[in-house]
Amino acid sequence: AAASTGGDGDADEMPELSDCDDDDDVDNDEDLWQWAEEDEEDSRPANVTLLSSVPATLQHCAADHQVNLVEIIKKHHLDDYGYIKMINFIRSTKCDASGLTGLPDAPLPWESEDFLRPVLQDDPLLQTDPEELCEDLSLSVCPSFRAESHDALQQRAQAAEERASTSEQALARAMDDLHKLKLLAQGLVLNAEAGRPGNSSAVAELREDEDEAYFSSYGHYSIHEEINLVHTETFKAKPPPSPPVLQVVLDVGCGTGILAMFAARAGAKQVIAVDQSEIIYQAMDIVRSNELEDKITLIKGRIEDIKLPVEKVDVIISEWMGYFLLFESMLDSVLYARDLYLADGGSVYPDLCNISLVAVGDAQKYRDHIAFWDDVYGFNMACMKKAVVPEGMVEVVKEDTLISEPAVIQTFDCNKVRLSELEFASDFCLKMTNTTECTALVGYFDIFFDNGCGNKVMFSTGPRVTKTHWKQTVFLLEKPVSVQAGEELRGKITVRKNKKDPRSLWVTFDLEDGKHSYSLQ
C-alpha cells in the first residue's frame, strides 16, 4: 500500500477501502492496502494497521492476508505499467483479498488505461520498482532472481551452443535460398510494366503514417548539421532572377528555413516554406529571430496534403537531392508542387541535375567487406557475400582508388521531367585509366542553376571534389573484374523504385559477367 493523504474527505481522513462496513471478513482486509503518515494516527479508523515501509506492507499482506503481490506480478507477467494499474485498481475499488487471489489469467480487471491515474498523491507503492520488490524481499515466487546451480547453468550453456551451431547451418542455407528468391522477385518486378496504375505516383499516395519514418529522420538536428556549407553556399551564390520572377517563392522541404531566408533577402515579396518534419518548429523561431516573419510563411505538412495560401508561385526552390540523387524520392514531391502551383514562365531551382558512374579498384575495401567472409576466424561464411553485396553503401570514396574516367548515365531537367522518367535504364561506357581489378562501381550526382541565371552555378558530389553530405554510393562487385588501361567497361544500369517502399531504390547493372542487383534503403 502507499501513503494516504485523504480521499474525498478532509486531508487527514483515511479513506474507507470497503463498501461493506458491516462485513467482518471485509473489515479484516481493510488494513491490507492502508498506509498513513505518522501525523494521521489520531484520525485513522480503529481497524487500520500502520506500517512503516513498502516491504513491511507487502510482508504484512502475505503473512496476515495470504495475498502475495509479488506472486501476482509474476503470475500475470506484469510490467511497470501493469503493476501501476494493479495498485491503483486495488485503491480505487477497495477490493478484498479474495478478489486478488482468484484472478483469471485474462483479461485482468485493471486493463483500463484509467488505472494509470494515481488514486493517492505521492503513493509510495507507485514509486517502487516491481523488480526491486522481488529482489529486496527475496521471495521465492519471483523466478527471475532464483539462483541456479553451476551444473544446471553449464548444461543450459551447452544446449544453447548446440542450438546455435544448428541454427547457423540452417541460416546459411536459408540465406542462399533467400538470395535466389530475391533475384527472382527482382526480375519479376523490374520486368513488369512501368506504367501500371499507381506506379508513378507512389510517394504521393503514401499515407502520412506510412511516410512518418522518412520525415522523422529529418526531425533530428544532426541531419541539418550534416547538410553542409557546399550546397548551401551554392544556393546563396546563385544570382537571383529579375524582381518580377521573385514575387512568390515556394520552398519544398524547408528544414531550418535557410533557403527561404536567402530568397527573402534576395528580394522575394512572399516566401512559403513547407516541411512535414518537426524541425519546422525551430524554423519558425529562426525566421522570427531574423525578423523575416512578415515575408516568410511556414506550413507544417506534406506538400501533397496541404493547400497553399496562393494559387501560383513564380519560383520553387528545394534541397530535394538524396543519396545517388533519387534515393528518398523527394523529387517526386517537387514535381507534384511544380505541376500544381508553378506559374507559366516560372522555374524550379536547381533545374538541371545528372547522375554519373566511375569505376573503382579498392583491394582493401574488397578484402574488408567481401573476401572477409571466406575465412571468419577459421570458419567459411562465403554464403554471407550474397547478403552483403546487394546493399549499396554510402561513403566517401578515396580519389586514389578511381580507375576510370566518369560517365554521365542520366540527366534531368526539373522544369520538364515527368514523374515516370525518374525510373530509367541507360547504357554506359567507362574508359579505364589503370590496369588493375575493378572492385566496385560508384555513383554520384551534380546539380546546376541554369535557367535564367546570368552566371551558371553548380556543385558536385563526386569523389574528386570537396566531400558533401551525400558522399558517394558504392556498388561492390561480388567478384573483381580484371581491366586494362585504355579499354572500356560497358554495361547497362537500370534504376527502379521499390514497389513496397517507393522512397527506396533497386539498382541493377548488366555487365559482361552477368547481372548485379542492389538495394538502396
Longest Cα–Cα distance of the chain, Å, equals 103
Please tell me whether residues 232 and 137 are part of one structural domain. no
Residue 141 pairs in a beta bridge with none
Please tell me whether residues 222 and 133 are part of one structural domain. no
Q: Has residue 179 been placed in a domain? A: no
Q: Has residue 155 been placed in a domain? A: no
Of 111, 328, 487, 512, the active-site residue reads 328
Please tell me whether residues 275 and 373 are part of one structural domain. yes
Q: Supply 322's cell numbers.
A: 538524396
Strands (E), 450-487: 457-460, 472-483
Give me the tens of pLDDT residue by residue for the chain, a chain 521 residues long.
443 434 444 434 434 433 444 444 444 444 445 544 444 444 455 556 677 788 787 788 878 777 888 888 888 888 888 888 888 888 888 877 777 777 777 788 888 888 888 888 778 888 887 777 666 654 444 444 344 456 666 776 777 777 777 777 667 666 665 655 555 455 444 444 333 334 444 555 554 554 454 444 444 444 344 444 444 555 555 544 544 456 899 999 999 999 999 889 988 999 999 999 899 999 999 999 999 999 999 999 999 999 999 999 999 999 999 999 998 879 999 999 999 999 999 999 999 999 999 999 999 998 888 888 888 888 888 888 777 778 899 999 999 999 999 999 999 999 999 999 999 999 999 999 999 999 999 999 999 988 877 777 888 999 999 888 899 999 999 899 999 999 999 999 999 998 888 778 999 999 998 899 999 88
Q: Has residue 419 been placed in a domain? A: yes
What's the CA gap between 151 and 165, in Å, rounded? 21
Strands (E), 239-389: 248-252, 270-275, 296-300, 313-317, 342-349, 352-360
**Residue 496 domain boundaries:** 202-520
Q: Which DSSP state fits 14?
A: P
Q: Has residue 191 been placed in a domain? A: no
Q: Has residue 344 been placed in a domain? A: yes
Please tell me whether residues 206 and 108 are part of one structural domain. no
Query: Which of 126, 145, 164 is the last residue in one of the domains?
Result: 145
Inter-axis angle of helices 130-137 and 54-65, to 10 degrees? 70
Please tell me whether residues 343 and 455 are part of one structural domain. yes
What's the CA gap between 461 and 406, in Å, rounded? 13
Q: Has residue 163 been placed in a domain? A: no
Q: Which residues lie closer than 8 Å to 461 by C-beta, 6 or more apart?
A: 444, 445, 446, 468, 470, 471, 472
Query: Which of 98, 123, 145 is the last residue in one of the domains?
Result: 145
Count of structural domains, the chain:
2
What's the CA gap between 310 and 323, in Å, rounded? 32
What's the CA gap between 508 and 510, in Å, rounded? 7
Q: Has residue 429 been placed in a domain? A: yes
Query: Hey, is 363 helix, strand or coil?
Result: helix
What's the CA gap between 40 and 35, in Å, rounded? 10
Please tell me whether residues 330 and 397 are part of one structural domain. yes
Residue 328 burial by CB count (10 A; 0-12/13-18/19+): exposed, middle or buried? buried
Please tell me whether residues 111 and 207 are part of one structural domain. no
Please tell me whether residues 220 and 137 are part of one structural domain. no
Q: Has residue 33 been placed in a domain? A: yes
State residue 495 phi and psi, 5-degree precision. -120, 120
437 is catalytic: no
What's the CA gap between 432 and 435, in Å, rounded? 8
Cα–chain-centroid distance for residue 203?
17
What pLDDT score does 73 carry? 84
Please tell me whether residues 455 and 383 are part of one structural domain. yes
Q: Supply 177's cell numbers.
A: 535460398
Query: Hey, is 459 helix, strand or coil?
Result: strand
Please tell me whether residues 136 and 210 are part of one structural domain. no
**Measuring CA to CA, which residue among 299, 521, 344, 324 is closest to residue 441?**
324
What pLDDT score does 185 carry? 52
Tell me if the bond preceding 107 is cis, omega within 30° of 0.
yes
What's the CA gap between 332 and 253, in Å, rounded? 12
Q: Supply 392's cell numbers.
A: 549499396
What pLDDT score does 159 carry? 72
What's the CA gap between 79 and 348, in Å, rounded? 54
Is the separation of the CB atoms in 459 and 231 below 8 Å? yes
Residue 429 pairs in a beta bridge with 490
Is the separation of the CB atoms in 78 and 84 below 8 Å? no
What's the CA gap between 106 and 324, in Å, rounded? 52
Is the separation of the CB atoms in 119 and 146 below 8 Å? no
319 is catalytic: yes
Please tell me whether residues 214 and 340 are part of one structural domain. yes
CA dist 17 → 83, 89, 100 (Å)? 19, 12, 14
Q: Which residues lie closer than 8 Å to 281 by C-beta, 6 or more apart?
A: 300
Query: Which of 102, 122, 145 is the last residue in one of the domains?
Result: 145
> Domain with 214 in it: what CATH number?
2.70.160.11
**Measuring CA to CA, which residue among 390, 517, 397 is closest to residue 460?**
397
Of 30, 40, 304, 319, the active-site residue reads 319
Please tell me whether residues 107 and 232 are part of one structural domain. no
